């Protein structure tokens, strides 16, 4: 069933937003990507369960995204349904003690500011990571030696069949930029964080330091998807790319950032093909020069 007819059917079934043939560049921080047959933003978790049932009935393939800040969507777009959770499922509540319950679609920097105002520390490292809380926990996003799963008490997720499961931190099997949520895969709908008390001013001070460092070291005014490659053993990926003399290398509208060598930026009109060719060129040059294999950190969607 193609975009328009599937979208019409889903509009009759769920309460959330449904778009046919939706350009994915509008939903990624890279500002790159062809159309998804259908893009859906469910109203809440119950709506998501109804959606999963409807998709199972018509056997439509689907993909879950948060805010698309770690994604490269290919130029041909996505066949099937993209379920976008940014901006929905977004409640934040303080529970007893130092536990905070947070919906998967919540903007991560907003969560960090909120818990800081409550005098709860632990998420300062994440205050400059764009994207949703669900995406960050699913990917075990990391910075400054900390990663999201360090702060997780438990998560609630849905199987692709719509069944609810609760996983403790150890059940997440967190690794470098991965968790069981991505491997199975599951859809994360809520996370409980276990934080610690501290002075709001001290917490906000640490957040400010991290944000200032990011604005000095990262190309934040141009579209990107963050670091293009995972750090290999033996050093930061950016160091190897810089030492290979690749800063400023371009393919079409894609460029190895002159500010941070591990960022590929869209200087305007870059296609996904440009980015993939540039990543290949960078990977080959670093391997030829240092014998180091770079693995992509950006996740490719569609095709
Ligand atoms: C300027 C910039 C700086 C960045 N800095 C960092 C950094 O310091 N550290 C870092 O780790 N990353 C960084 N990133 C990358 C990115 O922001 C993070 O990985 C972020 O956590 C991704 O969240 P998202 O909601 O955008 O996920 P998306 O990009 O939408 O999705 C990423 C993956 O998670 C899956 N996913 C998303 N939501 C869910 C869910 N609810 N349930 C199950 N799976 C889900 C998707 O299927 C996909 O595989 C940066 C990106 C940019 C643009």
Best residue among 71, 135, 156 to mutate for probing ligand 1's pocket (most ligand atoms within 8 Å of CB) is 135
**Residue range(s) of every CATH 3.30.465.10 domain in the chain:** 92-202
pTM of the model: 0.97
Q: Say whether 71 sits in a helix, a strand or coil.
A: strand
For residue 269, is it left (φ>0), alpha (ψ between -120 and 50) or beta?
A: left
Residues of the chain with pLDDT under 50: none
From the CA of 66, how far away is ligand 1's center (Å)? 7
Assigned CATH class of 219-301: alpha beta
Q: How many angstroms is it from 204 CA to the middle of ligand 1?
A: 23
- The Cα–Cα gap between 263 and 223 comes to 10
Fold of 3-84: 3.30.43
Instruction: Please tell me the residue having the least CA distance from ligand 1 atom 4.
Output: 226
Residue 10, SS3?
helix
> Which residue spans of the chain are classified as CATH 3.90.78.10?
219-301
224-227: strand order across its sheet: 224-227, 263-266, 254-256, 250-251
Q: Comparing C-alpha atoms, which of 59, 128, 99 is closest to residue 196?
A: 99
To test the pocket of ligand 1, the residue of 72, 140, 141 to mutate (highest count of ligand atoms within 8 Å of its CB) is 141
Whole-angstrom distance, CA of residue 7 vs CA of residue 37: 8
Tokens (6 digits) for 293: 């294999």
Which pLDDT score, from 0 to 100, does residue 96 have?
84
Enumerate the CATH 3.30.43.10 domain ranges in the chain, comma separated: 3-84
pLDDT of residue 3: 84
Residues with CB under 6 A from ligand 1: 29, 64-71, 85, 104, 129-132, 134-136, 138-139, 141-143, 181-182, 187-188, 218, 220, 224-226, 299
Neighbours of 104 (CB within 10 A): 30
Does domain 92-202 correspond to CATH entry 2.40.50.100? no
| DSSP bridge partners of 19 | 39
d(CA 125, CA 127): 6
What pLDDT sits at residue 50? 98
């Amino acid at each position: 069933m193609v975009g328009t007819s599937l979208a019409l059917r889903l509009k009759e079934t769920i309460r959330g937003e449904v778009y046919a043939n939706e350009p994915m560049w509008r939903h990624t921080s890279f500002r790159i990507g062809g159309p998804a047959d259908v893009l859906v933003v469910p109203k809440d978790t119950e709506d998501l369960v109804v959606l999963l049932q409807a998709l199972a009935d018509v056997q439509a393939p689907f993909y879950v995204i948060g805010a698309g800040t770690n994604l490269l969507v290919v130029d041909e777009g996505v066949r099937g349904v993209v379920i976008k959770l940014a901006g929905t499922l977004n409640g934040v509540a303080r529970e007893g003690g130092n536990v905070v319950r947070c919906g998967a679609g919540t903007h991560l920097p907003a969560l960090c500011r909120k818990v800081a105002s409550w005098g709860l520390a632990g998420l300062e490292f994440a205050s400059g990571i764009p994207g949703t809380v669900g995406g960050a926990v699913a990917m075990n996003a990391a910075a400054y030696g900390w990663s999201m799963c360090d702060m997780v008490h438990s998560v609630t997720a849905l199987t692709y069949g719509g069944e609810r499961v609760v996983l403790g931190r150890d059940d997440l099997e967190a690794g470098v930029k991965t968790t069981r949520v991505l491997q199975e895969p599951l859809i994360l709908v809520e996370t409980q964080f276990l934080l610690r008390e501290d002075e709001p001013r001290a917490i906000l001070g640490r957040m400010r330091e991290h944000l200032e460092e990011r604005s000095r070291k990262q190309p934040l005014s141009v579209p990107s998807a963050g670091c293009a490659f995972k750090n290999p053993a033996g050093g930061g990926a950016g160091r190897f790319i810089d030492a290979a003399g690749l800063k400023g290398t371009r393919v079409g509208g894609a460029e190895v950032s002159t500010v941070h060598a591990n960022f590929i930026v869209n200087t305007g009109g870059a296609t996904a093909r440009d980015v993939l060719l540039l990543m290949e060129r960078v990977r080959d040059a670093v391997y030829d020069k240092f014998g180091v294999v770079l693995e992509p950190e950006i996740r490719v969607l569609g095709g």
